[in-house]
């Protein structure tokens, strides 16, 4: 066994694997690992190829050495985004997710044995890392074929890279195995990631080379599994500290399904060439509405996607305390369509001080890969899921210490909605809600309109409890109870809803989110009760009567969509019924004997058509 690996504690089957494989490479630095991606005998561009029984050689990915890092592309459109139905559970522990045996008709033990036997035929990369980042994470290990070194380099940038040379050793709390050809030999070409939860280790078997379901969300699954055992939550959220005039600070945590605006919450507001902000474009007439915006709040990012809320961090402030659960951010660049769209990340990605990793972005050997030049899918359209992995240490003004959350917002992609074509896009620019409704939105977590991050992202579906349910391996109701306990135990954190893409007939993209963020920062997250009125749909809590920013009033049609001429009350009510019926269908699965009694009361309130005042009686609302 490699001399560094003797420092770690292994199971007998792993000792056998490492002793019998064709060779073991243990990187001692990220730079060394990067160089191994283009190791001896490889040019600046090569295919990652495997011999698949019955098919011969199959190319899983093409890797290019660009001036600014590794550029990875996949031959199949399907492999360029995460399949939401890729998780399988290989163990017999409690779960609400599909079990491997139920789906494929045989025990995972056989597939695991096949996997380990195949890995014995390979030269392997064995890389220690920290699930959850270096500061608070759990010692883990990656085992993958050496010809897929780009995958290891992606993992090293996403999670907390651990140098085996400098480590004191540990018993892995999680192990990620990578066996790409099994996608074809065992799973009919599908993305499959199998989670095998042992008593003292969470095994993740990745049968594909797109890092989204494994190196990214697979590690998220590990953290959720540990939290389910220890009664804490890793929230699906971004978080930023807004520094406003006179150095006042407001911490906003933004949750939501993939595509719900988490990354955008940390971006500067987009402006036209003359410095104005496009508030909206009428989807019927094409008319634009622009605003003048002066200096906005300074953003100090905390986390981009995974907020670990460890019990040890919580204090007596009455606010939720969190820290980033990642060491690098898997940023989607579909909104960067030309130079100047996002100056911060354009600068980081174009001239990095260490090589980055890019996916679904065009790459030319030796040239600078540009994040607005997206790979074309087979239909000739740009791939909707271009990605770059950016180490959080490279993000300007990053916050490294735990923060207390003032505002928890929830974002949803909304479709265009009118009287003639009613839909659920009835949410105004900013709604204030009590904790009970905040919990309901996190149970249902609408994936929303045209989600770009996953396969089949067009229709209204639930992302599941916490919007992290696709990555959780355990019990749905257990997670619902943990979220409710977390919300109730933090009475001084306030809750809002923010739409993106559309407000009724108006296309707003993420401008509603950026303007609401700025308004909240300038008001220290507070609003007077007389500035609110009950939304026409109780699920939306309270709507603002008025909003003024930079001396410019935001018209009521953006705050209360029933006031739009093309929607009216009848169009609004039709959309509200779509939303309410969707909530009713999704909430039924939580209404069990195992649900927290307060949770049952909240769902009972919804079922009997409760008003916003009824929800506030169950969980008082702090303004």
pLDDT, tens only, 319-373: 999 999 999 999 989 889 999 888 889 999 999 999 999 999 999 999 999 999 9
Q: Report the distance separating Cα 515 and Cα 517, nearest Å.
A: 5
Mean pLDDT in residue range 120-138: 92
pLDDT digits over 189-217, tens only? Answer: 999 999 999 999 999 999 999 999 999 99
The closest alpha carbon to 592, from 486, 475, 485, belongs to 475
What tokens appear for 146 in the block? 């050496």
- In order of 62, 157, 268, 341, the CA distances from 374 in angstroms are 15, 21, 22, 14
pLDDT attached to residue 343: 87
Q: Where do runs of H (alpha helix) occur along 414-470?
A: 435-444
Q: Is residue 618 classed exposed, middle or buried when 0-12, 13-18 and 19+ CB atoms within 10 A define those classes?
A: middle
CA 355 to the chain's CA centroid: 23
453 has pLDDT over 70: no
What whole-number percentage of the chain has pLDDT above 90? 87
pLDDT attached to residue 336: 92
All structural domains of the chain, each given as residue ranges with its CATH number in brackets, are 3-37+83-230 (3.40.449.10), 234-320+405-618 (3.90.228.20)
Q: pTM of this prediction? A: 0.93
The closest alpha carbon to 227, from 22, 479, 414, 15, belongs to 479
508 has pLDDT over 60: yes
**DSSP label at 456?**
T
3 has pLDDT over 90: no
Count the Cβ atoms, other than its own, within 10 Å of residue 26.
18
pLDDT digits over 61-102, tens only? Answer: 999 999 999 999 999 999 999 998 999 999 999 999 999 999
pLDDT attached to residue 412: 93
pLDDT digits over 232-260, tens only? Answer: 999 999 999 999 977 889 999 999 987 89
What does the mean pLDDT of the chain come to?
Answer: 94
Of the listed ranges 127-136, 172-181, 405-414, 423-432, the one predicted with least confidence: 127-136
- In order of 212, 287, 517, 527, 562, the CA distances from 557 in angstroms are 38, 15, 19, 20, 7
Q: Report the distance separating Cα 315 and Cα 461, nearest Å.
A: 36
Q: Report the distance separating Cα 42 and Cα 54, nearest Å.
A: 27
Contact (CB, 8 A) for 526 and 569: no
pLDDT attached to residue 201: 97
């Amino acid at each position: 066994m490699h001399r560094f690996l003797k420092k770690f504690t292994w199971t007998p089957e792993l000792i056998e694997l490492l002793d019998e494989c064709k060779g073991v490479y243990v990187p001692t630095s990220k730079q060394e690992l990067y160089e191994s991606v283009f190791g001896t005998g490889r040019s600046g561009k090569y295919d990652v190829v495997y011999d698949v029984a019955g098919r011969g050689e199959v190319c899983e990915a093409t890797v290019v050495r660009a001036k600014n890092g590794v550029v990875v592309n996949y031959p199949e459109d399907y492999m360029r985004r995460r399949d939401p139905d890729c998780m399988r559970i290989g163990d017999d522990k409690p779960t609400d997710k599909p079990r491997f045996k139920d789906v494929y008709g045989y025990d995972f033990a056989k597939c695991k044995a096949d996997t380990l036997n195949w890995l014995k035929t390979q030269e392997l990369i064995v890389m220690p890392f920290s699930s959850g980042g270096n500061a608070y994470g759990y010692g883990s290990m990656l085992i993958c074929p050496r010809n897929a070194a780009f995958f290891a380099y992606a993992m090293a940038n996403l999670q907390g890279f651990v140098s085996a040379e400098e480590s004191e050793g540990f018993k892995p709390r999680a192990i990620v195995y990578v066996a790409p050809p099994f996608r074809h030999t065992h799973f009919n070409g599908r993305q499959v990631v199998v989670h095998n939860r042992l008593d003292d280790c969470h095994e993740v078997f990745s049968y594909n080379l797109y890092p989204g379901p494994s190196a990214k969300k697979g590690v998220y699954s590990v953290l959720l599994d540990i939290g389910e055992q220890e009664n804490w939550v890793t929230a699906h959220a971004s978080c930023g500290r807004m520094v406003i005039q006179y150095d006042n600070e407001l911490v906003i945590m933004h949750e939501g399904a993939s595509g719900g605006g988490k990354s955008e919450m940390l971006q500067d507001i987009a402006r036209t060439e003359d410095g104005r902000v496009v508030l909206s474009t009428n989807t019927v007439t094409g008319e634009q509405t622009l605003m003048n915006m002066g200096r906005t709040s300074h953003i100090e990012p905390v986390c981009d996607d995974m907020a670990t809320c460890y019990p040890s961090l919580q204090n007596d402030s009455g606010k939720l305390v969190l820290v980033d659960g990642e060491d690098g951010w898997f940023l989607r660049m579909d909104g960067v369509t030309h130079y100047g769209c996002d100056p911060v990340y354009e600068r980081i990605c174009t001239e990095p001080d260490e090589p980055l990793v890019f996916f679904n972005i065009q790459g030319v050997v030796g040239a600078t890969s540009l994040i607005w030049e997206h790979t074309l899918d087979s239909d000739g359209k740009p791939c909707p899921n271009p990605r770059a992995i950016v180490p959080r240490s490279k993000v300007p003004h990053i916050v490294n210490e735990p923060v207390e959350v003032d505002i928890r917002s929830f974002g949803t992609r909304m479709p265009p909605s009118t009287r003639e074509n009613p839909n659920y896009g009835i949410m105004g620019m900013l709604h204030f809600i009590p904790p009970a409704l905040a919990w309901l939105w996190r149970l249902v977590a609408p994936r929303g309109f045209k989600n770009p991050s996953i396969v089949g992202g067009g229709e209204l579906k639930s992302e599941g409890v916490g919007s992290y349910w696709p990555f959780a391996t355990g019990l749905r109701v257990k997670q619902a109870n943990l979220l409710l306990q977390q919300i109730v135990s933090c009475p001084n954190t306030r809750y809002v809803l923010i739409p993106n893409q559309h407000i009724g007939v108006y296309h707003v993209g993420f401008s509603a989110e950026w303007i609401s963020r700025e308004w909240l920062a300038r008001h220290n997250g507070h609003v007077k009760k007389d500035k609110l009125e009950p939304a026409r749909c109780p699920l939306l809590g309270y709507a603002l009567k008025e909003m003024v920013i930079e001396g410019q009033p935001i018209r009521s049609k953006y705050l209360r969509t029933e006031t739009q001429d093309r929607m009216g009350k009848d169009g609004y009510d039709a959309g509200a019924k779509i939303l309410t019926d969707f909530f009713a269908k999704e909430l039924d699965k939580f209404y069990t004997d195992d649900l927290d009694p307060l949770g049952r009361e909240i769902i009972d309130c919804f079922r009997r058509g409760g008003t916003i005042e009824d929800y506030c009686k169950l969980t008082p609302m702090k303004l």
